[in-house]
Amino acid sequence: MRGASRHQLSRHTSRQPSPSHSDVHERAASGHEAIHAGRVAVITGAASGIGLAAAKKFASLGLKIVLVDVDGERLEKAKKQVLALAEDADGILTFNVDVSDIEGVRHLCESVYKAFGEVNVLMNNAGIGKEPNHPVGTAFGGLASWKAVLDVNLWGVINMLQVFTPEMSRQENASLIVNTGSKQGITNPPGNAAYNVSKAGVKILTENLAYELRTSHSTVSAHLFVPGWTWTGMTGSNGDAPKPAGAWTADQTVEYMLTRLRVGDFYILVPDNETSSDLDALRIRWAAEDITEGRPALSRWHPEYKGLYEEYIAENTHQ
């Protein structure tokens, strides 16, 4: 295996000790001030999948919910599900908005503040994998998907942050912003470069957002939410196929997100029934060390490094 060496396998990068389960549950039980009955949650991509699961969960906790989606028909169906869990029907609003349209986002913000006066949870969750009826965006193909994916996945988040963050920063009550990223934006598996680039952009954007909020002593906190394998419309369920054993449901993923938000995590990497948190960490470390070790790009999928990668995982995985 050219350019590879055994010493790479024996490295154990030190990790900060994780809080004990009792510490986590004690801190989570205290809650986050923004996640409280009567507060306001704005969720994009709320008509299905993780967005809808989050809307339902927040509604069950007594929050007022603003569901935002580009699909008006599915949005109305989603509203009925959320209303069934809400204490106050007047506290549930829907907006048929394309987040890639900055004027639509400005109108959304004005309408929400006029209705509720504040936003305590902003969940930028809208996302697509490609342009419908077009091939995925590769490094030198699928241009239509490149445009569509970046417009929604990256520019949609930028637009929401540019419009909502200044307003949220002026509020007295604490608030939080959750941007939905992807493990594909961290480990960069080949196959859909446009999607990977969009989610890598969300990661970098959210890290900078957290820094800027922290250094300005804002009452707003930022969080990067990175779901694991979640059975949603984007992953191919569409409600007409059984969930694979390895996947989590959208409800499970949202429950995990809430637990980590209450603890205060910035990086919320969600496991699933196939991939543990430890395996996620090993994959992320391997990808980063492609640079520091001078390996080929995406060496995890390189035929000359495949065996070394598999040994690395085996030697560093503790069952």
Could you tell me which residues are beta bridge partners of residue 96?
A: 69
Core vs surface per residue 197-235: b (16+ CB within 10 A) or e: bbbbbbbebbeebbeebeeeebbbbbbbbbbbbbbbbbb
List the alpha helices (DSSP H) in the chain: 21-30, 49-60, 72-83, 102-116, 143-149, 155-169, 184-187, 193-215, 250-263, 277-292, 306-316
Active site (annotated) includes residue 195: yes
Question: What is the spatial distance between Cα 65 and Cα 46, in angstroms, rounded to a whole number?
Answer: 10
Q: Transcribe 86-153 into DSSP letters.
A: -S-GGGEEEEE--TT-HHHHHHHHHHHHHHHS--SEEEE----SS-TTS---BTTB-HHHHHHHIIII
The CA radius of gyration of the chain, in Å to the nearest whole number, is 20
Question: What is the spatial distance between Cα 279 and Cα 75, in angstroms, rounded to a whole number?
Answer: 36
Catalytic residue among 113, 195, 211, 309: 195
DSSP code of residue 154: I
Question: What is the spatial distance between Cα 6 and Cα 68, in angstroms, rounded to a whole number?
Answer: 51
Cβ contacts of 239 within 8 Å, gap of 6 or more: 233
Question: What is the spatial distance between Cα 225 and Cα 212, in angstroms, rounded to a whole number?
Answer: 18
The total number of residues shown for the chain amounts to 319
Known catalytic residues are: 195
